[in-house]
Structure 1
Amino acid sequence: MKFLIDNWYLVLTAVISGGLLLWTSLRGKSAGVTTTEAVRLLNREKGVLIDVSEPEEFAQGHAVGARNVPLKLLSTGEPVKQLPTNKALPLVLMCKTGARAGRAAGMLRQQGYTQVVAVAGGLAAWREASLPVEKSAA
């Protein structure tokens, strides 16, 4: 006990360091899944790829097989026909950078979807991983 009292600054440093490590790891999890994990969910768990970009952005380029459901459409809370009726299916969300997809994931969880994840880094990370991208016909 005397050691702890005499070296309180070491204890404080250890507690702060541990707290920052824990905060960083928890924050990283909420940022989304990697492209590898996204592909695994799509292929092995029959996940559905949803792109929450605006239609113009979607037309410029999106992951092959993605359904376009703009974020503003999700924010209404109304049922969206492009979403699966089975709310237990994994939904893999994507946008240009991953920011809107993260917000959309929260909205969909509130609507009852149980397995919703956003792709960390969005379409940019998807392209960087050399995964297939296509453009919509104008």
Structure 2
Amino acid sequence: MFIEFMQEQMLLFIALFVVVIMLAYSYAGDKLAGFKTVGTDEATRLYNDDAFVLDVRTAGEYRDGYIGNALNISSNEIAGKLDQLPSDKDTPILVYCLSGARSSRVAMTLTKNGYTSVNNLRGGITAWKAAGLPVGRERSKKNKKKQKQ
């Protein structure tokens, strides 16, 4: 009887199988990838413990606000600028972008290049701002001149 039901509802069982696989991957995917995805609480702890902060957004996005003293290297340029990252590959690194997608790919690149403590900020700077955490902003040239006077 169950076999007949399965045969009649094959699409339903295929969809169920796909959903189960996706859930399993979301749970274990980061462990297999070699980096850790962290929320804003853990990211704050990493930042306070002097982790190296890497912003992988574009320069324009970076000017809109960034976390602490983050180094900005676009996700498209990271492979050619690994020399700007800490030479000690055990240094904790917090990587973020706008939503977490680009930083996830960069985190994978870093682990493939031997970095052992890579952390990707879940939700990116959007989640950081939503949590009410502070962001820095670059001053315009006009504001910098006013401050000097």
TM-score by length of 1: 0.75
- How many residues of Structure 1 are paired with residues of Structure 2 in the alignment? 128
**Which residue of structure 2 lines up, in the alignment, with residue 72 of structure 1?**
76
Contiguous gaps of at least 5 residues in structure 1: 1-5
1:90 aligns with 2:95: no
Q: Structure 1 segments of 4 or more deviating over 6 A? A: 6-9, 16-20, 28-31
SS of 1:123's partner is helix
**Structure 1 residues 7 and 122, CA gap change in structure 2 (3 angstroms):** same
Cα deviation for residue 25 of structure 1 reads 2.6
1:80, distance to aligned residue in structure 2 (A): 2.8
Match of 2:135 in 1: 133
Q: How many Å apart are 1:84 and its aligned residue?
A: 1.2
* Amino acid paired to 1:97: S
Return the structure number with greater helix share.
2
1:49 and 2:53 matched: yes
* C-alpha distance in 1 between matches for 2:48 and 2:139: 26
1:40 offset after TM fit, Å?
1.4
Unaligned stretches of 5+ in structure 2? 6-12, 141-149
Q: Name 1:34's counterpart in structure 2.
A: 39
Counterpart in 2 of 1:112?
114
Identity %: 30
What is the root-mean-square deviation of aligned Cα atoms in Å? Answer: 2.8
Cα distance, 1:56–1:25 mapped onto 2, change above 3 Å: same
**How big is each residue's C-alpha offset from its partner over 1:56-114, in whole Å with a ceiling of 9 and x where there is no partner?**
110111112211121122133x5332x11111011000111111100000111111111
